[in-house]
Amino acid sequence: MPAKTDRCHACGRRHKRSNPANGRYWALLHAIAEKVKPGGVSYSADTWHQYAKSRWLGCDDVELPNGRTLSMPRSTANLDVAEFNDYMGKVEAWAAERDVWLADMEDAT
């Protein structure tokens, strides 16, 4: 049996995460936004997304035309399935340390 790979056998492109995996990630981000309020301040799911990317994927510095440098979090869109699963595991572990679980969101629906 051939070895499992993260690339399509036909075209060589990397396999990307599925829509359900993406939905699960965003459900977790919304649960975090609902329950984690550092210093009593609420942040949106998108802000938590930016935080998570910068924390676990890192940032790239981009020089702007005005000479300033902007740190841009790396994109989750570039992760293959295994890399996204690893990233999701880190976000889930961080959330669990703050008593945020996906089951909380699933029970609410």
Give the pLDDT confidence score for residue 109 in this predicted structure.
Answer: 42
In a domain, 30, yes or no: yes
In a domain, 80, yes or no: yes
Residue 77 belongs to a domain with what CATH number?
1.10.3790.10
pLDDT tens string 10-32: 545 555 677 888 999 999 999 99
pLDDT tens string 27-82: 999 999 999 999 999 999 999 999 999 999 999 999 999 999 999 999 999 899 99
In a domain, 12, yes or no: no
Count Cβ neighbours within 10 Å for each residue of 78-102 and write b for 16 or more, e otherwise.
ebbeeebeebbeebbebbeeeebee
User: Which of 41, 39, 44, 54 shows the shortest CA–CA distance to 90?
Assistant: 54
With contact defined as beta carbons under 8 Å apart, do 29 and 55 qualify? no
Give the pLDDT confidence score for residue 1 in this predicted structure.
Answer: 41
Q: Which element (helix H / strand E) includes 62?
A: strand 59-63
In a domain, 69, yes or no: yes
In a domain, 79, yes or no: yes
Q: How far apart are CA 57 and CA 25, in angstroms?
A: 15
Partners of 63 in the beta sheet? 69
* Residue showing tokens 């790979």: 5
- The three-state secondary structure class of 58 is coil
In a domain, 81, yes or no: yes
In a domain, 62, yes or no: yes
Give the pLDDT confidence score for residue 20 in this predicted structure.
Answer: 85
In a domain, 70, yes or no: yes
Give the pLDDT confidence score for residue 4 in this predicted structure.
Answer: 47
pTM as predicted: 0.77
List Cα–Cα distances, 55 to 10, 23, 95, in angstroms: 35, 20, 13
Count how many domains the chain has: 1
What residue numbers bound the domain in which 39 lies?
A: 19-108
